[in-house]
Amino acid sequence: MFRYRLDVAWEYLFKLLPYLSVTLFYMGGALTIGIVFGAFMAMMKLGKNRPLKYFAIGYTAVMRSLPPIILIFLVYHGVPLAVRRMFQVNLSGMNTVYFVILALGLSSVATLSEIMKSAYLSVSGGQYEAAVSNGFTPFQAFRRIMFPQALRVSIPNLSSALIILMKEGSLGYTIGLIDIMGRADLLNSTSYGNDIYEIFFTLAAIYWLASILIDGGCHFIENRLSLERKIELNEIKKAGMIAAAEQGGIVRGS
Amino acid sequence: MLELTGVCKFFGKNEILKGVNLKVDSGDVVVILGPSGSGKTTLLRCINFLEIADKGTMVFGDKTIQLRRAKKSEVAFVRKKTSFVFQNYNLFNNKTALENVTEGLIYGRKIPAKEARDIGVKALEKVGMLDRSDFYPSQLSGGQQQRVGIARAIAGNPDVILFDEPTSALDPELIGEVLGIMKKLAAKEGTTMIVVTHEMSFAQSVATKVIFMDSGVILEEGEPREFFVHPRHERTKQFLRSILYETEYNI
């Protein structure tokens, strides 16, 4: 009869958890690449320069259609080869996590550029016109009017993108990355498959919790930035001012 | 003060403006009438460089500007001297009513924040929105939003205010409050305005000059009394008939 050994699962939890840092590291790395270059790519898509625009659209189409595992393989095997040919530099000793970051980063650029583009377009273009007509420079109009509103709109999508990034990175174990997934695979083989359920349910629970945290965190930020909250704070401030004024009146009157 | 000559504008192959000439003197209230698609709004947008005209020159004060090849400094100059009131208000949704007025002063005109606030309060007071200064656009009615839009436009003390169908997006009940403010600006402050509108009553009572546009050209212009009582052009007569007497149909 199948018996799930909670105590064993519990032990594995602590064997896996330290490697969550690797998972978080590649997520952070890929997200950074995605945000920086994705912003440029979103600008290309929104801009008037035809060649740049078509390049960005083409890049997105190709990257979105690629299964992440192919990308990881291509980067892992292709990049060292290309670097050796071109610069006579040997990359064989490099930590695999950087290959995973590059592979995920390349596809994040596509995803995030789409998120940024649609978030920008969701803010009515009239506000930009009103801003430049009021003497804002295009950058000021972006920085003060368009960006804060677009950021708020983009957060739910960013949250999903981040969770997808976390899951896709688990494929890094195929090129020998020791993140929580790689570690779980390793533990599974050293226990000869005897603890397979204990290990992988625990692993699943970690992913599950992590995505709940990501989602919750994003919700928190979204609420922080929301107009409703600004309005609410405003109301509280006003109520406070009225109360203070009334109190002042009473003191003076008495 | 402001003179446009030979303004042409293409959208793709469509010629929207076919050589428009317009002269506005200080204190003028120029009302531009015309059917939709006649290029009224495009003309207004070209003045503020929200569209770049393909041909034409603008003389503004002592500056002569080629519309097509306007330098950044020239665009900034014109935008400083003019302001735009939009059909859809286009208030900054992430800013309060007061911030909507002051942001342009602080960032566009480099006025210190404190001073900008004083100007903003005065502008909101003029449009009767001071009690709503802490409200966000989403908390305001359309008419109130447009009044804030007008406050934003007058705050920079421009030489000309450009109104692009300021009441077209409003409920009929709210049109009056916006027109009332515009009338006040014209009568009390002598503000120079160019107004694209379909409000004939406004044109009749406030305009110093009425312009009728059709298919990208100015067909007729004149004083409002002359224009409404003795329109010369057949197209103008037809347009005025359709607008002024539309309520007289009985079904």
Tell me, what's the pLDDT at A250? 53
Long-range pairs for A29-32: beta carbons < 8 A, 24 or more residues apart: A29/A97, A29/A98, A29/A101, A29/A104, A29/A105, A30/A100, A30/A101, A30/A104, A30/A105, A30/A108, A30/A165, A30/A169, A31/A108, A31/A112, A31/A162, A31/A165, A32/A105
Nearest to B50 among A129, A148, A234 (CB): A129
pLDDT in tens, A71-87: 999 999 999 889 888 88
CB spacing of A135 vs B79 below 8 angstroms:
yes
- Number of CB pairs, chain A paired with chain B, less than 8 A apart: 74
So what's the pLDDT on residue B248?
Answer: 55
Chain A (38-77) residues lying within 8 Å, Cβ to Cβ, of chain B: none
Q: Are residues A135 and B152, on separate chains, in Cβ contact within 8 Å? A: no
Picking from A96-110, A234-248, B67-81, which range would have the lowest pLDDT averaged per residue?
A234-248
Q: Which two tokens stand for residue A15?
A: 């064997």
CB contact under 8 A, B79 and A133: yes
The identity of residue B203, as a single letter, is A
A156 in Cβ contact with A218 (< 8 Å): yes
Mean pLDDT of A161-169: 94
Query: What is the length of chain A?
Result: 254
CA distance B60 to B24: 10
Rounded to whole angstroms, the Cα distance separating B55 from A162 reads 49
**Contact across the interface for A135 and B138, Cβ inside 8 Å:** no
Give the pLDDT band of residue A249 (cuts 50, 70, 90).
low
Closest Cα in chain A, distance from residue B84 (Å): 7
Instruction: Check whether A242 has a pLDDT greater than 90.
Output: no
Cα B159 to Cα B192: distance, rounded to the nearest angstrom: 7
User: Is there a contact between B94 and A231 if contact means CB atoms under 8 Å apart?
Assistant: no
Two tokens, residue A96 = 């695999």
Q: Pick from A128, A132, A134 the residue to mutate for testing the B interface (most B CBs within 10 Å).
A: A134
Check: CB of residue B170 under 8 Å from CB of residue B146: yes
pLDDT in tens, B53-91: 999 999 998 899 999 999 999 999 999 999 999 999 999
Cα distance from A200 to chain B (closest Cα, Å)? 46
Q: Report the length, in residues, of chain B.
A: 251
Enter the DSSP assignment of A171.
Answer: G
Show pLDDT as tens, one digit a residue, over chain B (251 residues).
899 999 999 998 899 999 999 999 999 999 999 988 899 999 999 999 999 999 999 999 889 999 999 999 999 999 999 999 999 999 999 999 999 999 999 998 899 999 999 999 999 999 999 999 999 999 999 999 999 999 999 998 999 999 999 999 888 888 988 999 999 999 888 899 999 998 888 898 899 999 999 999 999 999 988 898 888 888 998 888 887 665 555 55
d(Cα A43, Cα B207) in Å, to the nearest integer?
A: 44
- In this complex, is the C-beta atom of A227 within 8 Å of any C-beta atom belonging to chain B? yes
| Cβ–Cβ < 8 Å for B244, B224 | no
Report the complex ipTM: 0.90
With an 8 Å Cβ cutoff, are A227 and B80 in contact? no
Sign of CA dihedral B42, B43, B44, B48: positive
* Other CB atoms within 10 Å distance of the CB of residue A243: 10
Average pLDDT over residues A14-18: 91
**pTM tops 0.90:** no
What confidence tens digit (pLDDT) does each residue in B218-232 have? 999 999 888 988 888
Q: Specify the pLDDT at position A151.
A: 93
**B208-B214-B217 Cα angle (round to 5):** 80
**Taking CB atoms and an 8 Å limit, are B83 and A149 in contact across chains?**
no
Amino acid symbol at B69: R
Q: Report the range out of A93-97, A224-228, B66-70 with the highest average pLDDT.
A: B66-70
Residue A252 has a pLDDT of 47
Q: For position A253, what pLDDT does the model report?
A: 43
Q: Where are the alpha helices (DSSP H) in chain A?
A: 6-16, 20-46, 50-65, 68-73, 79-87, 96-122, 125-133, 138-140, 147-169, 180-190, 196-225, 227-253
State the pLDDT at residue A131: 95
* Interface residue A132 vs chain B (CB under 8 A): yes
Residues on chain A touching B48 (C-beta within 8 angstroms)? 133
Identify the pLDDT of residue B246.
59
Using CB atoms, which residue from B76, B88, B107 is nearest to A140?
Answer: B107
Chain A hits for B83, Cβ within 8 Å: 133-134
Closest-CA distance of chain A to residue B85, Å: 8
CA-wise closest residue to A166 among A200, A212, A199, A202 = A212
What does the block give as tokens for B116? 């900008």
Q: What is the pLDDT of residue A244?
A: 77
End-to-end Cα spacing for chain A: 83
Mean pLDDT for A152-181 is 93
Q: Burial, A142: exposed, middle or buried (Cβ in 10 Å; 0-12, 13-18, 19+)?
A: middle
Task: Round the average pLDDT of chain A to a whole number and report it.
Answer: 90
Q: Domains in chain A, start-ordered, CATH in brackets?
A: 6-253 (1.10.3720.10)
**pLDDT the model gives residue A212:** 96
Residue A254 has what pLDDT? 39
- What are the chain A neighbours of B134 within 8 Å (beta carbons)? 234, 237-238
**What six digits make up the tokens of B229?**
């009582």
Shortest Cα–Cα distance, B72 to chain A (Å): 10
Alpha-carbon gap, residue B169 to A5, rounded angstroms: 67
Report pLDDT for A229: 84
Determine contact: A130 vs chain B, CB below 8 A: yes
Cβ–Cβ gap B88/A145 under 8 Å? no
Q: What is the pLDDT of residues A119-142, one digit of tens each?
A: 999 998 899 999 999 999 999 999
Report yes or no: A134 and B104 within 8 Å, Cβ to Cβ.
yes
Which residue is associated with the tokens 């596509």? A110
The whole-number pLDDT of residue A3 equals 78
d(CA A158, CA A193): 37
Measured CA distances, B244 to A136, B101, B133, B175, B241 (Å): 40, 36, 38, 17, 5
Nearest to B20 by CA among B182, B168, B194: B194
A68: its two tokens: 């992440």
Interchain contact, B80 vs A132, CB within 8 Å: no
